[in-house]
Amino acid sequence: MNILLIGNSSASRRIQEEGERLGDLVDIVSSASLNVYVSNRGLKFKIVGKQLLLRDYDLVFFYTINSKRKLDWILFAQYISKKYGTKVVYQKYASTKYKAMFTSLYDYVKQYKHGIPFPKTVVFYSKRGLRKALEHVGMPAILKIKAPGFGRQGRGVFKIESFDYLVELVLKYSSVASRFVLREFIPNEGDIRFFVVGNKVVAAMQRIPKKGEYRSNVARGAKPVPFDFNKHPELTELAIKSANLIGNDIAGVDIMLHRETKKPYVLEINSGPQFKALERVTKVNVARKIVEYFHSLES
């Protein structure tokens, strides 16, 4: 099987390693490797630095895509799916309806419409209406800043315990942030990462933050421990439903339980989840599970 994997990371290389053990060819390319040729005859696409022709790839996996190039890659996915019948993961990228889904609010809208529990949230783009936003979610709150260099390992995530601190952060990062997300703070004992492949959870771990830390990232000192998802079918079903709702064949779904009520909240549905710590903690070969899922799409 010839696989084209978009997004160069340690997780990508693990998938390549497992694919090659099964006799597959796995080419890894970065978001910047796509050239688009436009003329009156239409569009043509070329992957820079690769010898295989586009028609020679059996499957393309969009693992991580730079947001600036995302629409170009979506056009690419639609092109190869229609012209060559190439399997596309995530399949939603090959849909001509995907543009309607290409919004920062898409996940929240789908979760709301289908009864997925998540913390109260405000998405905003400037300092206007900050006080009303904070009143909506309550205090303390969590602020996520969507900007270059933020978004992984807890970077760009702040606990808000005063209105003045919220204003200070928004003014500081408004010139580089694409948007701000203010969320209700859920008292917790950490979160649970469910790794969904296809239509099932293949591994899960709980991340217990260190004392005094509000972020559950392993990079921030959180302790990862195995989580037996088979003993929690309701949470497992919630993770699978959440991933399926937004069309993510492969996803890391983060769920947090309220410390007192034990009510679950879906915090995030990651479309390019890393799994190094997950493999180490659970002893599950996640990369192999992903490649085996690719093979199941051939039938």
Q: DSSP letter at 210?
A: P
Question: Reduced to 3 DSSP states, what percent helix, strand and coil does the chain have, rounded to the nearest 5?
Answer: 35, 30, 35
Task: Give the CA count within 13 Å in the CB-facing half-sphere of 241.
Answer: 16
Q: DSSP letter at 46?
A: E
**C-alpha distances out from residue 74 to 3, 26, 198, Å:** 17, 20, 20
Q: Is the pLDDT of residue 289 over 90?
A: yes
- Kindly report, residue by residue over 69-93, the tens digit of the pLDDT: 787 888 899 899 999 999 999 888 8
| Residues 192/235, Cβ–Cβ less than 8 Å | yes
Mean pLDDT value of segment 111-125: 88
Q: Is the pLDDT of residue 147 over 90?
A: no
Per-residue confidence band for 155, with pLDDT thresholds at 50, 70 and 90: confident
Round the average pLDDT of the chain to a whole number and report it: 89
| Residues 229/248, Cβ–Cβ less than 8 Å | no
| Residues 87/60, Cβ–Cβ less than 8 Å | yes
Of all residues in the chain, the percent with pLDDT exceeding 70 is 95
Per-residue confidence band for 127, with pLDDT thresholds at 50, 70 and 90: confident
- Kindly report, residue by residue over 189-231, the tens digit of the pLDDT: 999 999 999 999 999 999 999 888 888 887 788 899 999 999 9
pLDDT at 276: 92
pTM of the model: 0.87
Per-residue confidence band for 103, with pLDDT thresholds at 50, 70 and 90: low
* Burial class of residue 78 in the structure, from the number of CB atoms within 10 Å of its CB (0-12 exposed, 13-18 middle, 19+ buried): middle
Q: DSSP letter at 154?
A: T
| Residues 258/213, Cβ–Cβ less than 8 Å | no
- Kindly report, residue by residue over 33-73, the tens digit of the pLDDT: 888 877 667 778 888 888 889 999 999 999 888 777 787 88
pLDDT at 213: 85
Q: Could you tell me which residues come within 8 angstroms of residue 283 by beta carbon, excluding any fewer than 6 positions away?
A: none
Q: Is the pLDDT of residue 250 over 90?
A: yes
